Structure 1
């Protein structure tokens, strides 16, 4: 029996050698079996959480690379897309502090914008901010936002409003002068870079620095002849550690209008000593730095005033020029301002009329001079002839 079974195996091995792996056995031809497929584990990026669409896309992309987009799996045929587009990540938009944020309610729109820019009353504006140790970093940031909002409401420019910022604690630092920036973008960037000094509260020293250094023509203040208002706004949350009454009086006497804003622990008596009169229009108080921005619209109305020229009610025929509280009219070249100080007339150059008497005298004088010259010429000619005669006689003597 063993010999018979061994003979069958021997014959089967001969058939395999002759026919290879493709042969018929009792009329049945089995399909060729493909080699086993090894699937690699997909590698997910750490920022893609499992179960998200991005993770599924990553797995599909890995399978497509292994099977070249066309493969069989457990007897089913799958066709993957030829190209899988990468997921686009959109960063969250950041709203800058200077951009107004609008909220809609029903059909109405409410905006935190502080109002339109004021185009009148050019100023030399100095902002004096307290950054002593009592002002927390978050509170100081709110002060800088308040300053940026004020800048947004003003008409900034070399011939419009100029702004300087003074930072003070126990020491005083002029962050930038009136002549440093004439556009809002650079000015607000400089404000964002201001760092607190975090020491004492020398408010009197800060006001003296503004008067003696910031409001000078060298630092960018305009001369008195231009009649530009000088305005200082001081923001503080404490009691001054130096005397403010005398130096504030000197500053006001020099023509500086002072507004005083007190926050939280500010001493009201000191604010009243620093501010200009009337006090109810120049002294303000808020409980926290979180609501200081409500003064933006207040200062806009106070500092801007009315631009009479832009209102069109001035009556100037040619040119209207705005001043601090009023206006005046000018004429174009070749015209002069009439007595009504509004209308213009063509400039007429006066005609010079020559006195006829003076003309006749001049002609007579010219004739007299001409006659004298002719007489002298005649006498000179006679003398020349006589000299020639004398010379002729001498040669023949």
Structure 2
């Protein structure tokens, strides 16, 4: 009898383990049924990738000084062409101009020159580097005085159409940019500064609009400058990757050209980084990453039983067993 009674007590954890294993199997099936009921993932509509919600008078100011190799300058032109692809170009939509500079400044085409993408991209493909120095300040001043004027195709200030300049350079300006850039910003021009390779970060900050973290960009080589296209599409057009397509169960967080998922208060992110499970704060029960309510309920019940066993005085427990054995011996 003693062996039978003690075996019952000692074997309890083993039985609990078997039951828990059964619950795990049921829990997996339950989780799969829950996941199969999830709504389908939304896909990005290519038509929505174009900038249609914000009209711009956009002027690119590109550095073609002697420090830029021909192959790298071709990558800059590719970047411009990709940017054009993301825009809704037209006389009543976004207008684009390009200012090319080195020691001299050349306006490649004005805001009024091209109102369709094929013509604009052909004009970009014909741009040649100017070589020599890096007169960035002169280029900005030329853009303000000649490219952003109504005579050149810019819309009147009364229409509240954003005027944006994107400067791409890999060096240090050989003239003063701080005051010229400040005057351009005071005139209502929003300036983005893109630095490549050996670009001077201090100069980029002097040129760019505030906040600097949204208007100053840096890439190590011209080979990766194309990656900025999606960032500018989002920034200039107001496009949000979370709005164009995501599969977050609770909260989508914009992360430049991508996104990540978060959970509401009281929930934690599951291993799939998309769905959320409710936090469990009682005792030592942890959240179930596969959303298995049956398993959580069993864990809670098991914990209550174990807590009762550990809180019962050992002497009282032994006394009950002795009385039971004595009663059985007299029987």
- Please tell me the TM-score bracket, short chain as reference: 0.5 to 0.7
Q: CA deviation at 1:181?
A: 0.2
Match of 1:165 among 84, 95, 98: 98
1:295 corresponding residue in structure 2:
228
1:341 corresponding residue in structure 2:
none
1:192 corresponding residue in structure 2:
125
Q: CA deviation at 1:305?
A: 1.5
Q: Distance in 2 between matches of 1:200 and 1:279?
A: 26
Runs of 4+ in 1 over 6 A off after TM superposition: none
Match of 1:245 among 178, 183, 191: 178
Does residue 141 (structure 1) correspond to residue 78 (structure 2)? The answer is: no
Contact preservation (8 Å) 1:114, 1:153: no
Q: Distance in 2 between matches of 1:132 and 1:126?
A: 19
Contact preservation (8 Å) 1:114, 1:296: no
Q: CA deviation at 1:196?
A: 0.2
1:267 corresponding residue in structure 2:
200
SS at 1:260 equivalent: strand
Higher relative CO (Cα under 8 Å, sequence separation at least 6) belongs to: 2
Q: Distance in 1 between matches of 2:77 and 2:96?
A: 14
Q: Deviations over 1:203-224 (max 9, x none)?
A: 0000000111101000000001
In structure 1, list runs of 5 or more residues that go unmatched: 1-110, 312-397
Q: Distance in 2 between matches of 1:114 and 1:268?
A: 36
Q: TM-score, normalised by structure 2?
A: 0.58
Q: Deviations over 1:163-216 (max 9, x none)?
A: 000000000000000000000000000000000001100000000001111010
Superposition map of 1:71-86 within 5 A: none
Q: TM-score, normalised by structure 1?
A: 0.48
Aligned length: 198
The structure richer in helix per residue is 2
Q: CA deviation at 1:302?
A: 0.4
Does residue 229 (structure 1) correspond to residue 168 (structure 2)? The answer is: no
Does residue 151 (structure 1) correspond to residue 80 (structure 2)? The answer is: no
Contact preservation (8 Å) 1:245, 1:274: yes
Q: Distance in 1 between matches of 2:53 and 2:126?
A: 29
Superposition map of 1:193-342 within 5 A: 193-305=126-238
- Give the direction of change, closer, same or farther, for the CA distance of 1:115–1:129 in structure 2 (3 Å limit): farther
- Give the direction of change, closer, same or farther, for the CA distance of 1:158–1:288 in structure 2 (3 Å limit): same
SS at 2:108 equivalent: strand
SS at 1:232 equivalent: strand
Contact preservation (8 Å) 2:233, 2:239: no
